């Protein structure tokens, strides 16, 4: 047995859930013994009819054959129990060994081989019995195994994918062509149909999934799609694992993407609005996303999830991550941008340490450099420069204050965009000028006033910074004041105190 055939044979054995390594080894030996018997018959020297008749005789003499509708494939080698499908699988493997090309047509209780021994096609038929005695000797072998006819095969029917609201009954009346490379999938397919018709939908669905995994083609995908949509119609989507149904549906037509998106959105919104269950929604999202292989659908689901998380949890007050992730997915989205800007503004308005906030802005700038939020971040940085320098001038830390006001002046571009900037510029340049007034340096104070007026022309507040004429000092103050004495005097008599 070559490696390809051995792999397929092993997969056929594995369709029996009770299979063990020891059993598989014994059945492999039995199959190899059967092949050795075929080799002794010198089948390659005979015509097809002789080949098949000899093959049939060897197989049925190798083990006592007994019909059993529920037989697994390994049973035909271990105790001779067979049904139409397991006997078809065995013949398919034997035909491969004889290097005879073939296809298999499968219906719910019947199969036909299309064998290509030469120019003509030959039909070989197997079907389930209606006689339930189980004794093979009581029935005509030809009705089960061989009905060879020289004729052409009619085209098989084409399936169409059913909509989600389609018929919940699954019927397989027409015969479907199965390539012999699909033998293990074929076993799962047949077992799934049997389980489904017996009312065991969950067992049937898991079996058809295995068939689709081995062979993602019709008719397996058609039956899986019908079973899947039937399950989804009954599903409440109130468990995390229910999102697996959406992930499986995403592997079919793109027409289903809107349904997947809306279903998951409803699932998250319901959980958030009624229970504010953040952990449930995150677990559902983390479970669903790896199953989505379409990039566009992946992005839409992610964007929707992050936006809902941001809205329902007021995350902008504590954690901007959901809104930032949404904005990264849609860099020009106004809704996501509004939440990010609101969150950054909240952080700015709650400032306790402006210097550390500059570091925070630098981090956000790296993350959001390709989004509309970048301009807002730049504006907040300028406002932070103004806020820092104003506090430094008030505390007479001129050198540090000049450092940050210089950063503002180098980065800011006229015109002044809004009231926030107007108020911040007026306050800062007023305190900048008042620093020099406190030290009686009116010339520098006026220079600062003029500089401020370049940003806010005709600002009464900036102009008033150098507008106070110091009163005649008392005699006791005719001597030069120390800095400490001057500060104490200005605290009592300065115009802005």
* Residues 436/394, Cβ–Cβ less than 8 Å: no
Q: What's the whole-model pTM score? A: 0.68
* Residues 201/247, Cβ–Cβ less than 8 Å: no
β-strands 81-82, 66-67: how paired? Answer: parallel
User: Token pair 């932070």 is at which residue?
Assistant: 384
Q: Which residue numbers in the chain have pLDDT < 50?
A: 131-175, 469-483, 486, 489-490, 493-497
**Residue 125 φ/ψ, nearest 5 degrees:** -110, 135
Q: What is the pLDDT of residue 460?
A: 92
Determine the Cα angle at 368 with ends 362 and 372, to 5°.
Answer: 120
Q: What is the pLDDT of residue 267?
A: 95
* Residues 408/429, Cβ–Cβ less than 8 Å: no
pLDDT tens digits, one per residue of 430-443: 999 999 999 999 99
Average pLDDT, the chain: 78
* Residues 81/68, Cβ–Cβ less than 8 Å: yes
* Residues 125/137, Cβ–Cβ less than 8 Å: no
Tell me the sheet residues that pair with 135.
Answer: 66
DSSP H helices in 369-418? 373-394, 398-411
DSSP three-state, residue 405: helix
Residues 6+ apart with CB under 8 A from 159: 218, 219, 222
Residue 446 to residue 437: CA distance in whole angstroms: 9
* Residues 271/280, Cβ–Cβ less than 8 Å: yes
Residues 6+ apart with CB under 8 A from 468: 437, 494, 495
Residue 239 to residue 160: CA distance in whole angstroms: 31
434: tokens are 């008042």
How many residues are there in the chain?
Answer: 497
Q: What is the pLDDT of residue 284?
A: 97
36: tokens are 């050795």
**DSSP code per residue over 40-89:** HTTGGGS-HHHHHHHHHHHHHHHS--EE-TT--TTHHHHT-EE-HHHHHH
Residue 184 to residue 188: CA distance in whole angstroms: 7
């Amino acid at each position: 047995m070559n490696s390809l055939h051995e792999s397929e044979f092993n997969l056929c054995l594995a369709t029996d859930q009770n299979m063990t390594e020891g059993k598989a080894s014994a059945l492999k030996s039995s199959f190899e013994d059967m092949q050795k018997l075929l080799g002794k018959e010198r089948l390659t020297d005979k015509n097809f009819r002789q080949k098949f008749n000899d093959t049939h005789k060897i197989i049925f003499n190798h083990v006592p054959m007994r019909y059993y509708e529920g037989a697994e494939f390994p049973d035909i080698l271990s105790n001779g129990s067979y049904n139409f499908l397991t006997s078809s699988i065995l013949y398919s493997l034997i035909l491969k060994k004889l290097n005879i090309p073939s296809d298999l047509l499968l219906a719910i209780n019947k199969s036909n081989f299309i064998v290509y021994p030469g120019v003509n096609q030959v039909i070989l038929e197997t079907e389930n019995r209606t006689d339930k005695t189980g004794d093979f000797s009581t029935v005509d072998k030809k009705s089960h195994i061989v009905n060879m006819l020289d004729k052409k095969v009619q085209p098989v029917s084409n399936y169409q994918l059913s909509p989600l609201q389609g018929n919940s009954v699954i019927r397989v009346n027409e015969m479907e062509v199965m390539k012999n490379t699909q033998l293990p999938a074929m076993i799962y397919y047949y077992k799934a149909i049997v389980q489904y018709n017996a009312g065991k939908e969950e067992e049937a669905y898991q079996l058809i999934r295995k068939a689709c995994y081995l062979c993602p083609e019709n008719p397996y995908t058609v039956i899986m799609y019908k079973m899947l949509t039937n399950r989804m119609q009954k599903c409440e989507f109130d468990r995390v694992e229910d999102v697996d149904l959406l992930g499986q549906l995403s592997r079919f037509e793109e027409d289903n993407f809107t349904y997947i998106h809306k279903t998951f959105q409803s699932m998250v919104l319901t959980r958030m609005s009624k229970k504010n269950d953040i952990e449930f929604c995150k677990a559902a999202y983390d479970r669903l996303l790896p199953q989505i292989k379409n990039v566009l659908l992946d992005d839409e689901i992610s964007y929707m999830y992050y936006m809902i998380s941001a809205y329902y949890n007021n995350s902008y007050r504590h954690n901007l991550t959901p809104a930032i992730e949404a904005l990264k997915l849609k860099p020009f989205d106004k809704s996501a941008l509004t939440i990010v800007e609101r969150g950054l503004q909240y952080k700015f308005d709650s400032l306790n340490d402006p210097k550390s906030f500059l570091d925070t802005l630098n981090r956000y700038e790296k993350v959001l450099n390709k989004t509309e939020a970048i301009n807002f971040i730049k504006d907040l940085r300028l406002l932070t420069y103004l806020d820092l320098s104003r506090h430094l001038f008030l505390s007479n830390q001129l050198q540090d204050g000049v450092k940050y006001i210089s950063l503002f002046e180098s980065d800011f571009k006229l015109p002044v965009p809004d009231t926030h900037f107007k108020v911040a510029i007026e306050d800062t340049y007023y305190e900048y000028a008042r620093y020099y007034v406190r030290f009686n340096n009116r010339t520098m104070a006026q220079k600062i006033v003029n500089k401020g007026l370049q940003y806010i022309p005709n600002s009464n507040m900036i102009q008033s910074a150098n507008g106070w004429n110091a009163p005649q000092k008392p005699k006791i103050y005719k001597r030069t004041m120390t800095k400490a004495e001057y500060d104490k005097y200005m605290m009592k008599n300065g115009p802005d105190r």
